[in-house]
């Protein structure tokens, strides 16, 4: 089970890590979810994949969980939804859903007592289900429907010059924020130095929605290993 360090009342740096395509293999999670769903109902696989691809191209997140749940609700089969969720979580945890370097990054953050949490964009139902499937159901996390995470983070900065962390991150304050994410849009409105960011993105395999300009205090890296080496 992955755990996150409980932030103290005041910390110098709070590390915020993205979930999809930063910590976790989102495509693998979707694939397993669809495979399990098809054990219960006939899901139009090609239709779901097309919708997912179209939504990703716009930089959004397709709410696969609600799509399936609504289908079952229409058929008066919500009892199947409960079984499906449990099986998805159980089978996913038997697999490695984390991307290379993710476990090592979390280990380093915990080992060095560096306060951190997960900030992920998307529909709450699907995001929380994926977080649980990847083993993060007991960690400090926030699911936001605002893809511009930098603006959200900046809203925590008060007149005293400190970031007042949400209760979902354990409360308390931080002098600076470090955001680790794959999408350029996530850094829109991100606070200036001493806060900083890492855009973790392999340009050779990048999706159009991941590309874009980032603030000068955001460093582009190809792997999480580069982030770990800089901590």
Q: Is residue 1 part of a domain?
A: no
Q: Are 112 and 84 members of one domain?
A: no
Q: Are 18 and 106 members of one domain?
A: yes
Rounded to the nearest 5 degrees, what angle is found at the Cα of 112, between the Cα atoms of 109 and 114? 55
Q: Are 114 and 220 members of one domain?
A: yes
Q: How many domains does the chain have?
A: 2
Among 55, 176, 178, 169, residue whose Cα is nearest residue 123: 55
Q: Are 124 and 21 members of one domain?
A: yes
Q: Is residue 139 part of a domain?
A: yes
**Res 70: pLDDT:** 85
Kindly write down the DSSP assignment for every residue of 111-155, as one continuous string. Answer: HTT--EEEEEES-HHHHHHHHHHTT-TTS-EEEES-S-HHHHHHT
Residue 208, both tokens: 């159009």
How far from 72 is each of 78, 111, 192, CA to CA, in Å?
Answer: 6, 43, 46
Three-state DSSP class for residue 179: strand
Q: Are 128 and 218 members of one domain?
A: yes
Q: Which of 32-36, 212-216, 226-230 has the lowest mean pLDDT?
A: 32-36
Q: Are 127 and 166 members of one domain?
A: yes
**Res 59: pLDDT:** 58
Mean pLDDT (whole number) for 96-108: 96
Question: Pairing between strand 218-221 and 196-200?
Answer: parallel
Q: Are 60 and 139 members of one domain?
A: no
Q: Which of 93, 127, 145 is the last residue of a domain?
A: 93
Examine the pLDDT at 5 and tell me if it is beyond 90: no
Three-state DSSP class for residue 168: helix
Q: Is residue 2 part of a domain?
A: no
Q: Is residue 214 part of a domain?
A: yes
Q: Which residue has the higher pLDDT, 41 or 97?
A: 97
Q: Which of 41, 65, 93 is the last residue of a domain?
A: 93
Confidence of residue 63 (pLDDT cuts 50, 70, 90): confident
**Res 114: pLDDT:** 96
Q: CB-based contacts of 146: which residues, under 8 Å, 6+ apart?
A: 121, 152
Q: Are 195 and 179 members of one domain?
A: yes
**Res 191: pLDDT:** 98
Q: CB-based contacts of 42: which residues, under 8 Å, 6+ apart?
A: none
How far from 63 is each of 70, 73, 123, CA to CA, in Å?
Answer: 11, 15, 6
Q: Is residue 48 part of a domain?
A: yes
Q: Is residue 4 part of a domain?
A: no
44-62: per-residue pLDDT in tens? 666 666 666 665 655 566 6
Give me the domain span that covers residue 40: 26-93
Q: Are 21 and 68 members of one domain?
A: no
Residue 52, both tokens: 């997912």
Q: Are 148 and 73 members of one domain?
A: no
180-222: per-residue pLDDT in tens? 999 999 999 999 999 999 999 999 999 888 999 999 999 999 9
**Res 179: pLDDT:** 99
Q: Is residue 5 part of a domain?
A: no
The answer to whether residues 115 and 7 touch, using CB atoms and an 8 Å cutoff, is: yes
Q: Which of 51-55, 109-113, 119-123, 127-131 has the lowest mean pLDDT?
A: 51-55
- Read off the CATH number of the domain in which 109 is found: 3.40.50.1000
The answer to whether residues 51 and 62 touch, using CB atoms and an 8 Å cutoff, is: yes
Please list the alpha-helical segments (H only) found in the chain: 26-37, 45-57, 64-74, 78-93, 102-111, 124-133, 149-154, 224-230
Q: Are 151 and 207 members of one domain?
A: yes
9-33: per-residue pLDDT in tens? 789 999 999 999 999 999 999 989 9
Q: Is residue 160 part of a domain?
A: yes
Q: Which of 65, 93, 121 is the last residue of a domain?
A: 93
The answer to whether residues 113 and 12 touch, using CB atoms and an 8 Å cutoff, is: no
Q: Are 102 and 189 members of one domain?
A: yes
């Amino acid at each position: 089970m992955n755990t996150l360090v409980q932030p103290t009342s005041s910390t110098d740096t709070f590390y915020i890590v993205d979930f999809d395509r930063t910590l976790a293999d989102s495509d693998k999670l979707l694939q397993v979810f669809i495979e399990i769903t098809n054990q219960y109902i006939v899901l139009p696989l090609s239709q779901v994949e097309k919708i997912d691809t179209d939504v990703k191209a716009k930089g959004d997140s397709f709410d696969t969980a609600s799509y399936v749940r609504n289908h079952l609700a229409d058929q008066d089969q919500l009892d199947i939804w409960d079984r499906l969720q449990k099986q998805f979580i159980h089978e996913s945890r038997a697999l490695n859903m984390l991307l290379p370097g993710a476990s090592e990054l979390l280990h380093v953050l915990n080992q060095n007592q560096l306060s951190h949490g997960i900030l992920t964009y998307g529909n709450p139902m699907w995001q929380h289900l994926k977080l649980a499937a990847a083993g993060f159901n007991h960690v400090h996390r926030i699911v936001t429907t605002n893809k511009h995470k930098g603006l959200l983070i900046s809203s925590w900065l008060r007149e005293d010059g400190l970031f007042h962390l949400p209760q979902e991150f354990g409360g308390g304050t931080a002098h600076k924020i470090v955001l680790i994410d794959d999408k350029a849009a996530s850094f829109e409105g991100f606070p200036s130095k001493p806060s900083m960011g890492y855009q973790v993105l392999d340009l050779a395999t990048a999706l159009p929605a991941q590309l874009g300009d980032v603030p000068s205090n955001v460093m582009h890296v190809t792997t999480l290993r580069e982030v770990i080496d800089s901590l």
